[in-house]
Amino acid sequence: MLEHFLGGLAVVLQPLNLLLLTSAVFIGFIGGALPGISGVILVVILLPVTYGMEPTTAFMLLTAIYGATVFSGLITAILYRAPGTPEAVMTAFDGYPMTQQGQAGKALGIGVLSSAIGGLVGTVALIVFTPILASMALRFSSPEYFALAILGLTVVASLGGRLIYGLIGATLGLLIATVGIDPLTGTSRYTFDNLNLAEGVGLIPMIVGLFAISEVMKRALDQDSHQPLKKVRIKIFDLPILRQIGGTLTRSSLIGVITGILPGIGASTAAMVSYSEAVRWSKHPEKFGKGAPEGVAAPESANNAAAMGALVPLFALGIPGSGTTAVILGAFIMHGLQPGPMFMITSSDLIYAVFAGLFIVNFMILLFSKPFIALFTKLLNVPYSALGPLIVMCCIVGTYSVRNSMFDVWLMLGFGVLGYLLEKLKFPLVSIILGLVLGPIAESELRRTLSMSQGDLSILFTRPISATLLIVAFLLLAVAIVTPMVKRLRNRPAASSSSEQRSNP
Amino acid sequence: MLTKKTLKAATLGLALVGVAMGASANEVADYPSKPIQFLVAAGAGGGVDNFARVVRPMFEEAVGGARITVVNLPSASGALAHQRTANGAPDGHTLDFASTTYVTSLAAGQNPIGLDQLTPVARMQSDVMALFVNPERYPDFESFLEYAKENPGKVTVGGTHTASPDHVAFLSLRDASGLDMNFIPYDSTGNATANVLGGNIDATTTSLSPLLSYIEAGQMAPILIFSEERLDHYPDVPTTVEHGWDLTDGNDRAVFVHADTPTELVQHLEGVFQEIFASEEYQAYAERVNLDYREGWMGGEEYRQRLENNYELYSRLLQNGN
């Protein structure tokens, strides 16, 4: 295997390929940074360009673009709260508050480092474990996916703020997720006979609206157009910070790899689950959402790790683990290659060259991200009265391009207003997004589970993986609810006894 | 005065008739007179999308130069692409690339654009449908049949979403065979395949070409092919027709235009696609993506007949199904 990898590395290090990889990284950077332009679109646009290339070169190019896109979504998420890709939504929750506190450089540095580490962990897992991991992923079926979604949803109880708001938010997310043609029976739900709603409410219009547009509105309406920072200094290697986020990085990268490998669960969900776990494991969960460095490190390491993980089932089984990998699968077929169980054996040269390319890409991200981000931080000096409309324009073009739909643009603007109002009410947007992304997984997988078992719920507990996940979810939920109660009880006698002591000198 | 007016009106009328006739004659000669749109009734990167994008340069060449843009309209199982085609100008400059999903979604009531609003120009591909299993579990169709008969309601078959070609193939098999089986819809062919590989479900009904690599690796096997004759590649696998079930539908990929498009123009376009289909370049592509297992070509009129028959069958199946 090492031999193969070194062979692949030799291919990648040929000057022409290296040049190609560099340009791929830059293309990915730009696409990822612009809200709405996703990896899927870039790969589709560039696919015809690759017809003339050798398959090895073509797929190094396409996978490098894919890796770079997942990374660069964080830039606009941190600087303007306009996530460049759906994978970077969670990054905005703590990255943007850091920018508002004048710590944009720190947030970006953490983001870059976490992305590169997550990406490397993912790539190593891809190189070393592809065959083993792929067969493990096959043991995940509907009951396990359901349990995983439940585990993610229970974190609502651990998020800071008022629990009732969290619950309302999650329910709202779940409700919005039910819109569209029910994938299991074909019944239309809340579509009001509008074909545009048949596919449901798109994730991109919703994210772009709730985050980017609402922020522009807030800045415009609240006359808060003053930008406190002038110069952003990005520090990627910062030892004290590294010590602080080390644990989060390790945990999130692993969560990312594992969730990424599961077919059908992409990097966005991985970022969400790892953010949830970062909140849960933190000693200061109340700091999340207000600019916690771990809140940037967790989703960024996880989404990059997951992006690489999603390639595992693609290469080993021919089953795409996410949207972009599905398009890459199509690209393989167009080149006359057939990813599947024999792919690792029949095309090992190509695969190891792609692996080596991805390995190099993660270092390129570390190397090239600083000058690239500098382009965006310069924009911070532009007065917001000019920058705001520019952001809105990017959001409109990006949202339109996803499905060529004007309806989505109106939807996005509507969500912008909704997001603005919800934030005025101090509503946690994070719980809405949790409900929206995990809701459809939980719903359809539960129904598939029941189809598998002819309606018998016990299947959830007779399968070891789903039973474990559900028990863990239940325990964590119990801890999250009981701990504050115990604390309150303990504080009460302690407070009264200390006051007694004081009164009795 | 009166005669003058009448004369004027007559001249005008004649002129209009002349324009109209001239237009229909010139429509073919002038084609294409403006940029052409390929509307893809599916997402980027899938089979229909690849089909449209591969055909695009060949089409450009065949009509002697044209500006073509490819637009993906995946929403509502592609219904938006059909809607836009049907609401556009009937001048053959908007071409709708769609799969069998067009007629299955029509039968399911998810797509309001019927065959009275669209005219099929040509069918170019027909991927063979088959029933696939993990061969360790069921070595052949006989063993599958036996198990399904002995365990009514226990067999689970996966495929893509409700009212998809996969689902309709399952329903038609269940209807013809009378077996008591359940269908589980997944988000993609990949997810359904993963569940068969992992032993979580018994089988999947889907098209052949995406699963070839699993067949070669021995991890999945077709045990029943939806076809009249056995395929040369799989001489040992029985067909539906052998069992007395008249189910031969594949997953088709075809091109549609506005229903009011002049007949001469539709015929001209059909000729263009036939020329493309016969070209070496197109055949090389079909072979590369394993779509050469059976004849893909079908002329517009013949294909319309087939779609109309299928619409009736699918409507009945979907109403009784679930």
Q: What is the pLDDT of residues A423-446, one digit of tens each?
A: 888 887 888 888 888 888 889 899
Mean pLDDT on A296-318: 90
Please give the residue of chain A at the shortest CA–CA distance from B157. Answer: A452
* Contact (CB<8Å) A317/B288: no
Range among A4-13, A304-313, B42-51, B262-271 with highest mean pLDDT value: B262-271
Mean pLDDT on B158-182: 93
Q: pLDDT value at position A230?
A: 60
pLDDT in tens, A89-146: 899 999 999 998 888 899 999 999 999 999 999 999 988 888 787 777 788 889 998 9
Question: What gap in Å lies between CA A28 and CA A361, rounded to an integer?
Answer: 11
Cβ-contact A145, A265 below 8 angstroms: yes
Read off the pLDDT band of B20 (50, 70, 90).
very low
* Contact (CB<8Å) B110/A142: no
CATH topology classification for B129-243: D-Maltodextrin-Binding Protein; domain 2 (3.40.190)
Cβ-contact B100, B69 below 8 angstroms: no
Which residue is associated with the tokens 């770079």? A68
Of the two residues A481 and B296, the one the predictor is more confident about is B296
Q: Which residues contact B110 (CB under 8 A, 6 or more apart)?
A: A181, A186, A188, A198, B76, B77, B79, B163
pLDDT at A157 over 70: yes
pLDDT in tens, A191-235: 888 888 887 888 888 888 988 899 889 888 876 555 555 667 888
Read off the pLDDT band of B10 (50, 70, 90).
low
Per-residue three-class SS string for A223-266: CCCCCCCCCCCCCCCCHHHHHHHHHHHHHHHHHHHHHHHCCCCC
A40/chain B closest Cα distance in angstroms: 8
Question: What gap in Å lies between CA A500 and CA A33, rounded to an integer?
Answer: 60
Partner residue facing A327 (CB), from B44, B75, B83 = B44
Q: Which residues contact B19 (CB under 8 A, 6 or more apart)?
A: none
Joined tokens for residue A359:
């390995």
Q: Which domain holds residue A308?
A: 2-503
Strand, helix or coil for residue A349 = helix
Question: What gap in Å lies between CA B110 and CA A333, rounded to an integer?
Answer: 30
pLDDT at B270 over 50: yes
Joined tokens for residue A303:
């989404």
Strand, helix or coil for residue A158 = coil
Partner residue facing A340 (CB), from B198, B201, B214 = B214
Q: pLDDT value at position B12?
A: 53
Contact residues on chain B for A185, CB-CB shorter than 8 A = 162, 322
| Nearest alpha-carbon partner for A469 in A143, A139, A134 | A143
CB neighbourhood size of A279 (10 A): 25
Give the H or E element holding residue A328: helix A323-334
Contact residues on chain B for A49, CB-CB shorter than 8 A = none
Question: What gap in Å lies between CA B80 and CA A330, rounded to an integer?
Answer: 23
Q: How many domains does chain A have?
A: 1
Question: What gap in Å lies between CA B77 and CA B294, rounded to an integer?
Answer: 26
| Nearest alpha-carbon partner for A416 in A137, A221, A181, A170 | A221
| Nearest alpha-carbon partner for B258 in B145, B70, B119 | B119
Cβ-contact B108, B318 below 8 angstroms: yes
- Beta bridge pairs of residue B222: B132
Question: What gap in Å lies between CA A379 and CA A78, rounded to an integer?
Answer: 13
Read off the pLDDT band of A374 (50, 70, 90).
confident
Residue A128 Cα distances to A2, A124, A131, A408, angstroms: 9, 6, 8, 42
Q: pLDDT value at position A228?
A: 54
CA trace torsion B231, B232, B236, B240 (10° rounding): 10
Cβ-contact A153, A289 below 8 angstroms: no
Cβ-contact A186, A395 below 8 angstroms: no
Give the H or E element holding residue A396: helix A384-403
Please give the residue of chain A at the shortest CA–CA distance from B107. Answer: A186
* Contact (CB<8Å) B44/A44: yes
> What is the ipTM metric for this complex?
0.76
Question: What gap in Å lies between CA B102 and CA B121, rounded to an integer?
Answer: 14
Cβ-contact A389, A219 below 8 angstroms: no
The backbone torsions φ and ψ at residue B44, rounded to the nearest 5 degrees and listed phi first, read: -70, 140
Question: What gap in Å lies between CA B94 and CA B85, rounded to an integer?
Answer: 6
Q: A453-462 — which CB contacts under 8 Å span 24+ positions? A: A454/B153, A454/B154, A454/B182, A459/A143, A460/A143, A460/A146, A460/A147
Query: From the candidates B40, B55, B58, B80, which should be mutated to test the interface with A, based on the most A CB atoms within 10 A?
Result: B80
pLDDT at A466 over 60: yes
Side-chain half-sphere CA neighbours of A325 within 13 A: 29
Please give the residue of chain A at the shortest CA–CA distance from B212. Answer: A338
pTM over 0.90: no
Joined tokens for residue A472:
């863990």
Question: What gap in Å lies between CA A429 and CA A422, rounded to an integer?
Answer: 8
β B298-299/B181-186 pair status:
unpaired
Partner residue facing B184 (CB), from A318, A319, A451 = A451
Please give the residue of chain B at the shortest CA–CA distance from A408. Answer: B75
Give the range among A196-200, A497-501, B257-261 with minimum mean pLDDT. A497-501
pLDDT at A282 over 50: yes
Cis? peptide before B32, omega within 30° of 0: yes
DSSP H stretches of helix in A86-238: 89-100, 104-137, 142-153, 163-177, 203-207, 214-221
Residue B93 Cα distances to A338, B39, B265, B266, angstroms: 35, 10, 10, 11
CATH 3.40.190.10 residue ranges of chain B are: 129-243
CATH 3.40.190.150 residue ranges of chain B are: 31-127+251-320
* Contact (CB<8Å) A318/B213: yes
Q: pLDDT value at position A115?
A: 95
- Maximum CA extent, chain A: 89
Of the two residues A184 and A366, the one the predictor is more confident about is A366
How far, in whole angstroms, is CA B141 from its chain's centroid? 27
Cβ-contact A80, A59 below 8 angstroms: no
Which residue is associated with the tokens 């123009």? B265
Q: pLDDT value at position A343?
A: 82
Residue A74 Cα distances to A113, A227, A501, B193, B279, angstroms: 12, 19, 53, 34, 47
Strand, helix or coil for residue A320 = coil
CB neighbourhood size of B25 (10 A): 12
How far, in whole angstroms, is CA B74 from its chain's centroid? 15
Partner residue facing A340 (CB), from B53, B186, B213 = B213
Mean pLDDT on B67-90: 88
Read off the pLDDT band of A493 (50, 70, 90).
low
Please give the residue of chain A at the shortest CA–CA distance from B155. Answer: A452
pLDDT at B89 over 50: yes
Question: What gap in Å lies between CA A380 and CA A393, rounded to an integer?
Answer: 17
Please give the residue of chain A at the shortest CA–CA distance from B322. Answer: A185
- Beta bridge pairs of residue B36: B68
Q: Which residues contact B10 (CB under 8 A, 6 or more apart)?
A: none
Question: What gap in Å lies between CA A399 and CA A381, rounded to an integer?
Answer: 26
Contact residues on chain A for B106, CB-CB shorter than 8 A = none
Q: pLDDT value at position B150?
A: 95
Read off the pLDDT band of B227 (50, 70, 90).
very high
Read off the pLDDT band of A494 (50, 70, 90).
low
| Nearest alpha-carbon partner for B249 in B109, B129, B141, B137 | B129
Partner residue facing B162 (CB), from A41, A186, A318 = A186
Read off the pLDDT band of B240 (50, 70, 90).
very high
Question: What gap in Å lies between CA B78 and CA B254, rounded to an integer?
Answer: 13
Q: pLDDT value at position B315?
A: 94
Mean pLDDT on B246-273: 94
Question: What gap in Å lies between CA A173 and CA B112, rounded to an integer?
Answer: 29
Per-residue three-class SS string for chain B: CHHHHHHHHHHHHHHHHHHHHHHHHHHHHHCCCCCEEEEECCCCCCHHHHHHHHHHHHHHHHCCCCCEEEEECCHHHHHHHHHHHHHCCCCCCEEEEEECHHHHHHHCCCCCCCCCCEEEEEEEEEECEEEEECCCCCCCHHHHHHHHHHCCCCEEEEEECCCCHHHHHHHHHHHHHCCCEEEEEECCHHHHHHHHHCCCCCEEEEECHHHHHHHHHCCCEEEEECCCCCCCCCCCCCECHHHCCCCCCCEEEEEEEECCCCHHHHHHHHHHHHHHHHCHHHHHHHHHCCCCCCCCCEEHHHHHHHHHHHHHHHHHHHHHCC
| Nearest alpha-carbon partner for B306 in B83, B175, B115 | B115
How far, in whole angstroms, is CA B114 from its chain's centroid? 14
Contact residues on chain B for A312, CB-CB shorter than 8 A = none
Name the CATH superfamily, with its identifier, for domain B31-127+251-320. Bordetella uptake gene, domain 1 (3.40.190.150)
Mean per-residue pLDDT of chain B: 88
Cβ-contact A473, A154 below 8 angstroms: yes
Residue A130 Cα distances to A168, A426, B194, B289, B298, angstroms: 41, 44, 15, 25, 43
